[in-house]
Amino acid sequence: MTQIEFNNMVNNHSASLRMHALNFTKDIEDANDLVQDTLLKAIRFYQNFQEGTNFKGWLFVIMKNTFINNYRKITKSKSLVTQDEEISSANLMYSAEQNGSVGKLIIDDIHTALSKLPEAYSVPFIRYFEGYKYHEIAEALDIPLGTVKTRIHMAREMLKKYLKTYAKVNQ
């Protein structure tokens, strides 16, 4: 089988791969990324495909392994603290686990800081913190995507000011 024939076979299966990827990711943008990664790996390693075997099954195995590897990478990166300035659930939970009473004080301070934010900033920030994507927040609140990004950014900046004593502890 030539490279061109192989590439055509890969392209013919892209629609079914996209549907399969959507089952994994539950998000169209992530599914498209997963399909693209799968197609690139299949084309790059086409010499590993043995003629006579199930081509579609081979592609699905590549997709499944790619999804699992990406998930592991994301999970591992979320467990590490990447920036001192970043206010994220990973950082907050890590600091809250060090000492029960200190953690309770930190969580109380975070809730107090969140309550000081204007609702226009706190609602998008909390939804983002809970794992919603920007476009989901924009649709739910019926505001433009750029406004959501700006409000989340401004909420972070305000929270950094309210919680600056904790930033000094980590430096």
Any idea what the CATH number is for the domain that residue 17 is in?
1.10.1740.10
Find the length of the chain.
Answer: 171
What is the pLDDT of the chain when averaged over all its residues? 80
Locus of tokens 């107090």: 112
- Together in a domain, 35 and 95: no
User: Which CATH number fits the domain that encloses residue 152?
Assistant: 1.10.10.10
- Together in a domain, 24 and 68: yes
- Together in a domain, 63 and 94: no
Is residue 84 in some structural domain?
Answer: no
Domain boundary among 79, 98, 126: 79
Query: What pLDDT, on the 0 to 100 scale, is given for residue 72?
Result: 82
Q: What is the pLDDT of residues 63-89, one digit of tens each?
A: 899 888 888 887 776 665 555 555 555
Locus of tokens 């305000």: 158
- Together in a domain, 17 and 59: yes
Domain boundary among 50, 79, 108: 79
Domain count within the chain:
2
Q: What is the extent of the structural domain holding 60?
A: 3-79
Query: What pLDDT, on the 0 to 100 scale, is given for residue 150?
Result: 93
Q: What is the pLDDT of residues 96-142, one digit of tens each?
A: 455 555 567 777 778 888 888 899 998 998 888 888 899 999 999 99
Query: What pLDDT, on the 0 to 100 scale, is given for residue 160?
Result: 85
Domain boundary among 79, 98, 124: 79
- Together in a domain, 47 and 98: no
- Together in a domain, 53 and 74: yes
- Together in a domain, 161 and 118: yes
CB 156 within 8 Å of CB 87: yes
- Per-residue pLDDT band for 171 (boundaries 50, 70, 90) equals very low
- Together in a domain, 69 and 94: no
pTM given for the model: 0.44
Q: What is the pLDDT of residues 3-38, one digit of tens each?
A: 788 888 888 888 888 888 888 888 888 888 988 998
Is residue 132 in some structural domain?
Answer: yes
- Together in a domain, 144 and 115: yes
- Together in a domain, 48 and 120: no
